[in-house]
Structure 1
Amino acid sequence: MAQREVIAAVGAGRMGRGMAIAFAYAGHEVVLIDAKHRDSAGFDALCAQVDAELRGTLGMLSGFGMLSETEIDSVLARIRTVALGDCASALAGAAVIFEGVPEVMEAKRDAFAMISEHASVEAIVASTTSTILSNDLQGFVTHPERFLNAHWLNPAFLVPLVELSPGEKTDPAVTARLKALLERIGKVPVVCAASPGYIVPRIQALAMNEAARLVEEGVASAEDIDKATKYGFGFRFAILGLLEFIDWGGGDILYHASNYMAGATGEDRFAAPQIVKDNMAQNRRGLRDGQGFLDYEGLDVPAYQNDRLSAFVAMLRHMDKMPPKG
């Protein structure tokens, strides 16, 4: 087996620790680099805190059956925390470096200056920012072609998705290398343009704000809204992607529902986007047309539908919501 890449994370906070567990669990050596200047006592306290949290998280995962108690120490042995003053050798030996400092431009600039000074020019450099565009950070990195954003979702050691957002100068081969690495550790990377909110934060911001408005307007209680999202919204979209779901039922359903909602509420945010109107005009309404947002040409539709419905039943069992037999 080829030697696994050494991973470095600049910033030993929640995101750095989560990524460290994800990579160490998969067999990688990981270096957590403290991004703050501390005296020896402060650094020792940080190390104790990091070790306690990592051990506690791995103990929890052991309780879930993801590893045995005897494997915890071997995973922990792959993670080491180093002080800011000792970052040079740690960065020089890393094949992939993730920046995870606070979402402040000055902090990002300082972190990338340090990385650029000490890292190998072949190393991939990635920010984990959830707010700042990759194009706005790329200029802080020497050899910007090796830079992109990698937005992990918390908890990073469990959520499979990682959103990769290359900048204008990113070498496509770098994106492909990081995508392959993430796939090897069991993650599901997706690639998106440098756009505010990326994919998940953009969608969830709209959904969360709408849920808050429902409470504000007295439409339903917070408890019932959460039940609705868990057992309806979340239940369906754990199996079918949002665009796949549009195609499943038909884009015309969304089109007409959007027109009604926009008219009934007087809110433009419910209006259908142009792409939905275009799909209607071009008879790309989804599964029954063979074309929609996705291409279903040549697909065994009954087998596909059966597979998805079977997954719904499995989800019912997982949620302990199987209907009672008469």
Structure 2
Amino acid sequence: MTQAMTLASIGAGRMGRGIAQCVAYHGHHVRLIDAKTRSGEAFAELEEGAIAEIERDLTLMAELGAFDKTAVPAIMARISVVAHEDAGAALCEASIVFEAVPEVRAAKEQAFALFDRFAGEEAILASTTSTMLSSDLVALTENKARFLNAHWLNPAFLVPLVELSPAGETAPETTQTLKRFLEDIGKVPVVCSASPGYIVPRIQALAMNEAARLVEEGVASAEDVDKAVLYGFGLRFAVLGLLEFVDWGGGDILYYASRYLQGALETDRFEAPEIVQRNMEEGRIGMKTGQGFYDYGEMDVDAYRKDRLKAFIQAVDRAGLRRDPVLAKS
């Protein structure tokens, strides 16, 4: 682990608390800054609620076997809630500042102004927005080279993925510094351009809407759709990435399946994108041709396939669904 750092979150709500829990768990100090000016009594209520919620969640995780419960006091000692009027002292100490206020532009403007006024010269500002683009938000800060979006997925303490989306003005070292920090605390950062929906929300919106359509059209019950997702879709894609799976089975299968669904359901939403059609035309359809979305030219494909099949077996085991073979029937 790198040396203990001090971080801050402008916003002490759900996302700020989740980030604080994660950061403090990994040995760093974090200041949850109240984004609003409020009375002493109202702030005391916010502070008490935030600390109680984080401690409750940590205790629950420990009781579920995530870590030793005796570590909770040490983790909690690294977390503090700071009143809005004391934001300057908290921000000047922070190496990384997460903006975690509601998805309202005026609230973002106020949070960014607070950062610009008080943060140190090398501090990074990372917005946790799930809807606004870094290419838009960058206009709200004077420190454009040190700004980017960092989209955490809830629950922030558990889900490893963080989607980093730099703006055009973001310095490459800003992205790399935040990426290294996230990796150090056990996260899996990915970098994407400023595009609506990032990666995960864009994919899951399509999947969730299609699941809802299946119920709406009477194809299957909600319970059976969810079973299909848990024990088919979800289990499979916990082992292979979506594009990795395309290469595994062959891009030609996706191409022809897309054409069939497009015609049978009379909708363009299943039309294969140009990259799939182009790969078909050029013979790049996955492992069987040596190249698809990935290059298998230098890979030991047999060893790779064996490793992935082992992971599938482990996934079925975790789901409690693997059975021993029947050797004889009476």
Report the TM-score when normalising by structure 1. Answer: 0.98
| Residue 29, structure 1, aligned to residue 29, structure 2 | yes
Q: Residue type of the partner of 2:264?
A: A
* Structure-2 residue corresponding to 1:247: 247
Quote the offset at 1:66 in angstroms. 2.5
SS in structure 1 at match of 2:189? strand
Q: Residue type of the partner of 2:105?
A: M
2:116 and 2:14 map into 1 onto residues whose CA distance is 23
* Structure-1 residue corresponding to 2:177: 177
Q: Residue type of the partner of 2:275?
A: I
Quote the offset at 1:324 in angstroms. 4.8
Q: Residue type of the partner of 1:280?
A: M
Q: Which runs of 5+ in 2 are unaligned?
A: none
* Structure-2 residue corresponding to 1:168: 168
| Residue 320, structure 1, aligned to residue 323, structure 2 | no
Residues 229-267 of structure 1, C-alpha deviations (whole Å, 9 max, x = no match): 010000000000000000000000000000000000111
Quote the offset at 1:65 in angstroms. 2.4
1:299 and 1:315 map into 2 onto residues whose CA distance is 24
Contact 2:19 2:156 in 1 (8 A): yes
| Residue 129, structure 1, aligned to residue 129, structure 2 | yes
* Structure-1 residue corresponding to 2:297: 297
| Residue 9, structure 1, aligned to residue 9, structure 2 | yes
SS in structure 1 at match of 2:140? coil
Contact 2:7 2:28 in 1 (8 A): yes
1:92 and 1:253 map into 2 onto residues whose CA distance is 55
Q: Residue type of the partner of 2:50?
A: V
* Structure-2 residue corresponding to 1:87: 87
Q: Which runs of 5+ in 1 are unaligned?
A: none
1:67 and 1:218 map into 2 onto residues whose CA distance is 44
* Structure-2 residue corresponding to 1:217: 217
RMSD of the alignment, in Å? 0.9
1:74 and 1:289 map into 2 onto residues whose CA distance is 54
* Structure-2 residue corresponding to 1:274: 274
Q: Residue type of the partner of 1:220?
A: A
2:199 and 2:223 map into 1 onto residues whose CA distance is 27
Contact 2:2 2:184 in 1 (8 A): no
Residues 201-238 of structure 1, C-alpha deviations (whole Å, 9 max, x = no match): 00000000011111111110000000000100000000
Report the TM-score when normalising by structure 2. Answer: 0.97
| Residue 203, structure 1, aligned to residue 195, structure 2 | no
Quote the offset at 1:3 in angstroms. 2.6
* Structure-1 residue corresponding to 2:77: 77
1:155 and 1:226 map into 2 onto residues whose CA distance is 20
SS in structure 2 at match of 1:164? strand
1:104 and 1:177 map into 2 onto residues whose CA distance is 27
Quote the offset at 1:61 in angstroms. 1.4
1:10 and 1:324 map into 2 onto residues whose CA distance is 53
SS in structure 2 at match of 1:19? helix
Quote the offset at 1:50 in angstroms. 0.9
2:82 and 2:67 map into 1 onto residues whose CA distance is 26
Runs of 4+ in 1 over 6 A off after TM superposition: none
User: How many residue pairs align between the two structures?
Assistant: 326
2:64 and 2:296 map into 1 onto residues whose CA distance is 38
Contact 2:286 2:292 in 1 (8 A): yes
